[in-house]
C-alpha cells in the first residue's frame, strides 16, 4: 500500500494511527501527574547527560518506562491489542515492527527532530527496522522533515504560543 513518503506492508486504519499517535506517550502523563518528582528527575538526567528521556528512564529505572506504564493503562482500558502494542513498543520496535508501530516510532522521532517535543534538543534515534518496514531511509526522513518544516512547524509553534498567552 503506497502512502506519500512511506510504503506500508499492510493497511493501517486512520483511527488507529490517530489514537496511537495521541496515546503513545500516555505513560509520560501518568508519570508527570502522579509521580512528578520522579518525572522531573528523569528530565534533569536527560538534559544533563544529553540523552533522550527514554534513555534516562532506562538508566534510572530499568524496565519501568513510560512505555510500560502506557501499556498497562491501555490494557486496563481494554484498548485493542494493536494500539496496546504501538504504545508499548514505540521506542523499542523489534526486528519486524507492525506498520502501526513503525509509523508511531518514526512520527515520534520526527517530532523531536522538528523541535516540537517536551525536551529541547532531545536525542533522536530512528530504528533501522522501523525505517526499513516503511521503505524509508535517512534521505527519505529528511524529505518528510523538510515538508513538515515548511507546512506545519510554524503553525504548531504559533498555536502553542497563543494557547500559552490566553
Domains of the chain (ranges, CATH numbers) = 11-165 (1.10.3210.10)
Radius of gyration of the chain (CA): 16
Residue-wise pLDDT tens digits, 84-109? 999 999 999 999 999 999 999 999 99
Residue-wise pLDDT tens digits, 136-148? 998 999 999 998 8
Quick one: pLDDT at residue 9?
86
Segment 34-57 shows an average pLDDT of: 92
C-alpha cell at 39: 518525572
Q: How far is CA 66 from CA 79, 107, 140, in A?
A: 17, 17, 29
Residue 26 neighbours by CB distance under 10 Å: 18
Amino acid at each position: 500500500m503506497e502512502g506519500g513518503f512511506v510504503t506500508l506492508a499492510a493497511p493501517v486504519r486512520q483511527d488507529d494511527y490517530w489514537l496511537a499517535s495521541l496515546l503513545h506517550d500516555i505513560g509520560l502523563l501518568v508519570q508527570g501527574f502522579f509521580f512528578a518528582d520522579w518525572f522531573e528527575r528523569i528530565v534533569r538526567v536527560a538534559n544533563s547527560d544529553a540523552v533522550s528521556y527514554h534513555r534516562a528512564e532506562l538508566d534510572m529505572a530499568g524496565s519501568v518506562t513510560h512505555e510500560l506504564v502506557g501499556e498497562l493503562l491501555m490494557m486496563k482500558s481494554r484498548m485493542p491489542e494493536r494500539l496496546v502494542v504501538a504504545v508499548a513498543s514505540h521506542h523499542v520496535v523489534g526486528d519486524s515492527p507492525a506498520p502501526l508501530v513503525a509509523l508511531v516510532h518514526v512520527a515520534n522521532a520526527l517530532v523531536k527532530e522538528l523541535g516540537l517535543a517536551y525536551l529541547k534538543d532531545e536525542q533522536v534515534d530512528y530504528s533501522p527496522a522501523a525505517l526499513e518496514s516503511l521503505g524509508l531511509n535517512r534521505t527519505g526522513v529528511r524529505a518528510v522533515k523538510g515538508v513538515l518544516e515548511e507546512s506545519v512547524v510554524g503553525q504548531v509553534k504559533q498555536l502553542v504560543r497563543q494557547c500559552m498567552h490566553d
